[in-house]
Amino acid sequence: MLGAYGRGRNAPRRDVVMAELLRVENLSAGYGEARVIQGLDFALEDGRSLALLGRNGVGKTTLIDTLVGVTTRFSGRMSLGGRDITTLTPHARAHAGIGWTPQERNIFRSLTVEENLTAVAVPGPWTVRRVYDLFPRLEERRTNGGRQLSGGEQQMLAIGRALMLNPRLLLLDEPTEGLAPIIVDELLAALRELAKAGLSMIIVEQKPKKILPFTDHAIVLDRGAIAHEAPSADLLADPAALDAHLTASRKG
pLDDT 10s digits, 39-52: 999 999 999 999 99
Task: Please tell me the predicted confidence (pLDDT) of residue 249.
Answer: 52
Nearest C-alpha neighbor of 66 from the set 76, 56, 58, 57: 76
Q: Which amino acid is at 52?
A: L
**What is the pLDDT averaged over residues 162-184?**
95
The pTM score is 0.90
Domains of the chain: 2-97+171-182+197-251 (3.40.50.300), 104-167 (no CATH)
| CA distances for 139 relative to 4, 117, 136, 196, 238, angstroms | 41, 11, 5, 22, 40
Does the pLDDT at position 2 exceed 60? no
pLDDT tens per residue across span 129-164? 999 999 999 999 999 999 999 999 999 999 999 999
Q: Tell me the Ramachandran region of residue 131: left when phi exceeds 0, alpha when psi lies from -120 to 50, beta otherwise.
A: alpha
Predicted confidence band of residue 12 (pLDDT cuts 50, 70, 90): very low
pLDDT at 94: 95
Rounded-to-integer distance, Cα 86 and Cα 77, Å: 5
Residue-level pLDDT at 248: 61
